[in-house]
C-alpha cells in the first residue's frame, strides 16, 4: 500500500520535474519570441518610456548630481566608444591644436553662433568632479571643466519652438556620424557643461577633444565627444534614425538615459 503510494508520488514528482524543465524551455523560447515581436516590444518600450516622466516628476529641474572630492577620483579614467574621429578634417584640427576649430550653434536660435575654442575658454567656467556611469555598468570619477551649456544657449537666444539640443559630433561609427540629444531642462541644468578640460589637463583626443558634453544625470552614451555643432530643434523626428542619438537609432538604447 505505502509502496504503491511512494511510487505514485515519485512519478508525480518526476512528472512535475519534467514539467518544470518543459515550462522553462518554453519560457526561454517564449521570451525570445516575445523579444522579437514588434507589438510586445512596443509595450515594453512604452513601459521604459515611463521612467522619463517619473524621474522628471521626482527630480527637481536643477537637482545636482553628486560631486566628489579629488581624493575620490578614479586613478585611471578609461576611454570607450570612439577614441578618435577618423576624418581628415578632424586630424587637421588636432594638428593645429584646434586653433581654427569653431563650435556652431544654430537651428531654432535668434543668433547663430560660431565660437572658437578660445571663446569657450574665456567664458565663465564650471568645474566639477562627477561620476561617469556607462550603460554597461562601470563607473569612473573624473574632473571636468568648461562653460555651462545654458550660458551658450542664452547667448544664441532660443526661439520659442526649440525643445531639444542636438549635438553633432566629428566621429563616425562606420559611415554613421555620432550624435546625441537632450531636452531643454537638461540643457539648462547647472552641471551641463561643454568640457574642454578633464582632470586638470586639456581634454585628450581619446576623451573627445576639443569639447565633450557633460550631462551628469544621465548615462555615458549621452556624454557626446568631439562636439562640432549644437543644433536646436523642435523635434527629433527626421534626424538620422529619428530616435535622438546614434545608440538610440542603432541598438535601441533609451533616449532618456537617467536610468
Partner 1 sequence: MANGEMVMEPDSMPEALLAGIPVGGDRVRRHRLSTRLWHWLNAMTVTIMLMSGLMIFNAHPRLYWGQYGANPDTPWLEIGNAGGHGVLRIGSLALNTGMVLGLTRRPDGSLHATAFPGWMTIPTSYSLSDARMWHLAFALVLVAALLAYLVRSVINGHIRRDLAMRRGEWAPAHLWADIKQHALLRFPTGLAALKYNPLQKIAYGAVLFVMLPLVIATGTALSPGMDARLHWLVDVLGGRQSARSVHFLCAAGLVGFFAVHIAMVLLAGPINEVRSMITGWYVLPKERRAKAPAPGEEIAA
Stretch that binds partner 1, among 44-52, 85-93, 171-179, 238-246 (CB under 8 A): 44-52
- How many residues at the interface with partner 1, by CB under 8 A? 59
Q: How far is the CB of 63 from partner 1 (least distance, A)?
A: 5
Whether the bond into 224 is cis, omega within 30 of 0: no
**Smaller CB separation from partner 1, 43 or 161:** 43
Report the DSSP beta bridge partners of residue 214.
Answer: 193
**Smaller CB separation from partner 1, 31 or 89:** 31
Residue 134 engages partner 1 in binding (rule: CB under 8 A) = yes
Report the DSSP beta bridge partners of residue 145.
Answer: 127, 197
Q: Could you give the C-alpha distances from 250 to 74, 82, 174, 191, in angstroms and in order?
A: 30, 15, 12, 28
C-alpha cell at 135: 550603460
> N- to C-terminal Cα distance for the chain?
60
Which residues, 6 or more positions from 1, have their beta carbon under 8 angstroms from its beta carbon? none
C-alpha cell at 136: 554597461
Residue 45 engages partner 1 in binding (rule: CB under 8 A) = yes
Contact track, partner 1, 202-241, x by CB under 8 A: --------------xxxx----------------------
User: DSSP code of 109?
Assistant: B
**Smaller CB separation from partner 1, 28 or 122:** 28
Binding site for partner 1 (CB under 8 A): 1-3, 9, 12-13, 16, 20, 27-28, 31-32, 35, 41, 43-45, 47-48, 50-51, 55, 58-60, 63-66, 68, 72-78, 131, 133-141, 216-219, 247, 251-254, 257-259
Amino acid at each position: 500500500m505505502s509502496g504503491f503510494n511512494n511510487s505514485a508520488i515519485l512519478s508525480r514528482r518526476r512528472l512535475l520535474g519534467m514539467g518544470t524543465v518543459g515550462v522553462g524551455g518554453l519560457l526561454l523560447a517564449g521570451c525570445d519570441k516575445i523579444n522579437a515581436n514588434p507589438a510586445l516590444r512596443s509595450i515594453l518600450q512604452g513601459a521604459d518610456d515611463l521612467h522619463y516622466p517619473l524621474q522628471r516628476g521626482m527630480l527637481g529641474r536643477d537637482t545636482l548630481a553628486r560631486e566628489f572630492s579629488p581624493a575620490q577620483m578614479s586613478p585611471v579614467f578609461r576611454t570607450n566608444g570612439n577614441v578618435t574621429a577618423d576624418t581628415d578634417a578632424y586630424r587637421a584640427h588636432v594638428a593645429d591644436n584646434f586653433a581654427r576649430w569653431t563650435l556652431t550653434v544654430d537651428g531654432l536660435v535668434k543668433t547663430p553662433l560660431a565660437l572658437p575654442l578660445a571663446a569657450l575658454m574665456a567664458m565663465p567656467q564650471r568645474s566639477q568632479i562627477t561620476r561617469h556611469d556607462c550603460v554597461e555598468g562601470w563607473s569612473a570619477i573624473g574632473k571636468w571643466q568648461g562653460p555651462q551649456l545654458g550660458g551658450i544657449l542664452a547667448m544664441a537666444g532660443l526661439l520659442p519652438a526649440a525643445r531639444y539640443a542636438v549635438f553633432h559630433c566629428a566621429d563616425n561609427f562606420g559611415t554613421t556620424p555620432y550624435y546625441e540629444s537632450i531636452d531643454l531642462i537638461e540643457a539648462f541644468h547647472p552641471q551641463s557643461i561643454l568640457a574642454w578640460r578633464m582632470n586638470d589637463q586639456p581634454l585628450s583626443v581619446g576623451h573627445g577633444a576639443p569639447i565633450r558634453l557633460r550631462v551628469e544625470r544621465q548615462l555615458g552614451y549621452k556624454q557626446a565627444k568631439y562636439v562640432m555643432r549644437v543644433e536646436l530643434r523642435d523635434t527629433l523626428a527626421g534626424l538620422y534614425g529619428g530616435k535622438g542619438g546614434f545608440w538610440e537609432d542603432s541598438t535601441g538604447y533609451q533616449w532618456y538615459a537617467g536610468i
